[in-house]
Amino acid sequence: MPAKPGVYRMLGADGEVLYVGKAKSLKNRVSMYAQGRGHTNAIYRMIHQTASMEIIVTATETEALLLETNMIKRLKPRYNVLMRDDKSFPYIAIRTDHITAALQKHRGAKSFKGKFYGPFASAGAVNRTLNTLQKAFLLRSCSDSTFSARTRPCMLYQIKRCAAPCVDLVGAEEYAGLVKDATDFLEGRSVELQDRLAVEMRDASDKLEFEHAARLRNRIRALASVRAAQGINPSTFDEADVFALYNEGGQSCIQVFFFRAGQNWGNRAYFPRHNAEEAPADILSAFLAQFYDDREPPKLVLTSIEPTDRELLEEALCLRAECKVEIRKPERGEKREIVDAALLNAREALGRRMAETGSVAKLLDGVQEVFGLALRPERIEVYDNSHIQGTNALGAMIVAGPEGFTKNQYRKFNMKTEEFGGDDFAMMKAMIRRRFARMLAEREDDDAPPRKRGGGERKRAGGAKSVGRRRHSPSVSFADSSPVNGRAEDGGGKIADGGVDFSKERDVEAADTKFAAWPDLVLIDGGEGQLNAALDALQELGLKNKIRIAGIAKGVDRDAGRERFFIPGRAPFRLDEKSPVLYYLQRLRDEAHRFAIGAHRGKRSAGLVKNPLDEIGGIGPARKRALLDRFGSARGVSRAGLAELEGVEGVNKELAKRIYDFFRDNRG
């Protein structure tokens, strides 16, 4: 190993990345691992499983830190601290790429001209603020196309949420003043703005312009309500992120508060994954590096404890922000009070999560017993479909586990009528076939074979959770058992699996691809017909005896509480109407139904506004607009002759012939 800064990866015998670390001197850091003493149990296990190492030498330790963070987020090694939720934050944007500025919510890349204010902790916080800002400043929130097409004011003008610049009910100079007022407020000059509006209100009242004075009064009230709803508004700093870590029972919660322009713009709780023996300072250091990997940091970061490598983190954040960034643990004053408030929130959030996790673990133990699983299920997949007489057909898969619904694992399946011919059973079969065929294909593409561990390594309900993410494998055992608080209608309780040989081992890591994860239990929303259709699909893929699958059908008259459960090789049965396990399974079924119906409605709505021109290659927004401006509608385009099409700006002879043939072929 060279005595230079860099990043090292510790690899298992199967090539899986166990750990990614950075070092000022690779030689010294690796020598510490090689000593074989003074390590925690987790580090000892990691060293024991390491078969080889790979290194990347960098010019500085700061570069090593940035590279390490990027690799951790991409590879997700099981022995690293991982920030589980890395979704982007919403912002409020004042778009200035149009002659009439617009106020709107924005998430993602800042790809247009304008000013961005945030981040806000949640979309709800942005929506509430936008709602009030519309009352206060009357800025438009419509799209440019809607704005240009208006001939009369919309409903927002009627309810006093917009000044209607689209139909010139407000002058350009007056509207620019509203935009400036909104900018002043979002940039922290709210007190000065309210004082100025108060002066204008009194002047208007003195001049007997009572309607104008009333409008100014309403704006002042709206601005005051925003500040009141934001809770803590600091006076000793304008911009900062606050991180407070609370650790208990081998689990941690990091509460993050966002302050911008002297205003509190919300908070969010994170629960990073880490070893139970990890030091809090190390957890916070790793979390901060990952948190700001794709976000711009503020000039001040306040923490409840000093993170490891604070100076190195500051240097890395300075490079990202292109300005000085300070990480500070305040000892007294207002900053300390704000950090303490965040710490209290972190403690309460962790307490709630641990209580919820314990109750869910008990429910999953009940599910294990009901469906005869050898281990407590950690990945339950529920399937439902939705269509109207075969149109806009869509299948849905939701995923649940010890931490509740895993929404980033939800999947939608756009089904074509030729796949199922309007038959519900055939649609379920096609969806299950597609999902598990993708699973087999993605697992074959995975270079590293799955790691396994025996069922005995797993703690029971109430115990510490296993370290690392799991990759489910086909080697899952089903134990014979009867339902909890339930009864089998045939009086029997034994599950006949047809002599299938299942081992009790399960993969530790979940694959990072879309469909490679192996479920512990598959639930079908439907009765025996849907279940048999799903079994036929698994039979075609050679998976019929390798996946536990069951159907959940609504009871007589579709009464909740009288659901019937179907398992291959066993008579249908019901659970006690007051069984907590039944309530849990109903929640899973209802969530799948909600997701399927919502996705179907979205697909149906999109179909209503779909334009045939979008299906023709070579027609982008500009040519589409030119065609619609010339002929008024897609129907008008379909009736146009070749010569008329060629006369449209941007449409040459070849494209005109393509458009002409497209509509004639479709008519045929």
pLDDT (tens digit per residue) in 206-223? 888 887 788 778 777 777
% pLDDT > 70, the chain = 82
Q: Omega into 119 within 30° of 0, i.e. cis?
A: yes
User: What is 240-353's CATH superfamily?
Assistant: Ribonuclease H-like superfamily/Ribonuclease H (3.30.420.10)
498-518 mean pLDDT? 50
Instruction: Kindly report, residue by residue over 78-129, the tens digit of the pLDDT.
Output: 899 888 766 678 888 999 888 899 998 888 777 888 888 878 877 777 887 7
pLDDT at 170 over 60: yes
Burial of residue 195, with CB atoms counted within 10 A of its CB: 0-12 exposed, 13-18 middle, 19 or more buried: exposed
CA distances from 539 to 413, 442, 472, 542 (A): 20, 19, 19, 5
* pLDDT value for 382: 94
Residue 5 vs residue 485, higher pLDDT: 5
**Pick from 333, 275, 274, 336: which is nearest to 305 by CA?**
336
b/e code 461-488 from CB counts within 10 Å (16+ = b): beeebebbbbbbbbbbbbeebbbbebeb
pLDDT at 305 over 70: yes
Distance (Å, whole) CA 89 – CA 279: 28
Asked, colleague to colleague, whether 240-353 and 371-604 share their fold, the answer is yes
* DSSP-derived pairing of the beta strands 240-248 and 102-106: unpaired
253-263 mean pLDDT? 86
Distance (Å, whole) CA 62 – CA 316: 6
* pLDDT value for 612: 74
267-287 mean pLDDT? 90
The correct answer on CATH 1.20.1270.360 for the domain covering 612-667 is: no
Joined tokens for residue 586: 């109903």
pLDDT at 367 over 60: yes
b/e code 524-534 from CB counts within 10 Å (16+ = b): bbbbebbbbbb
As a whole number, the mean pLDDT across the chain is 80
pLDDT classification of 225: cutoffs 50, 70, 90: low
The correct answer on CATH 3.30.420.340 for the domain covering 371-604 is: yes
% pLDDT > 90, the chain = 19
Burial of residue 586, with CB atoms counted within 10 A of its CB: 0-12 exposed, 13-18 middle, 19 or more buried: middle
pLDDT at 526 over 90: no
CATH number for the domain formed by residue range(s) 6-75: 3.40.1440.10
Residue 259 vs residue 454, higher pLDDT: 259
* pLDDT value for 227: 57
**Pick from 219, 260, 210: which is nearest to 237 by CA?**
260
Which of 275-279, 304-308, 519-523 has the lowest average pLDDT? Answer: 275-279
User: 551, 526 in Cβ contact below 8 A?
Assistant: yes
pLDDT classification of 387: cutoffs 50, 70, 90: low
* pLDDT value for 41: 84
Tell me how crowded residue 227 is: count the other CB atoms within 10 A of its CB. Answer: 17
527-539 mean pLDDT? 90
CA–chain centroid gap for 306, Å, is: 29
Which of 143-152, 181-190, 446-455, 482-491 has the lowest average pLDDT? Answer: 482-491
CA–chain centroid gap for 377, Å, is: 23
Distance (Å, whole) CA 355 – CA 366: 17
* pLDDT value for 20: 93
Domain ranges of the chain: 6-75, 91-229, 240-353, 371-604, 612-667
pLDDT classification of 473: cutoffs 50, 70, 90: very low
Beta bridge partners of 294: none
pLDDT classification of 329: cutoffs 50, 70, 90: very high
pLDDT classification of 138: cutoffs 50, 70, 90: confident
Range among 17-26, 496-505, 617-626 rated most confident: 17-26
pLDDT at 4 over 60: yes
User: 382, 523 in Cβ contact below 8 A?
Assistant: yes
| Overall residue count recorded for the chain in this entry | 668
Which of 199-208, 453-462, 545-554, 612-621 has the lowest average pLDDT? Answer: 453-462
Which amino acid, 572? P
pLDDT at 325 over 80: yes
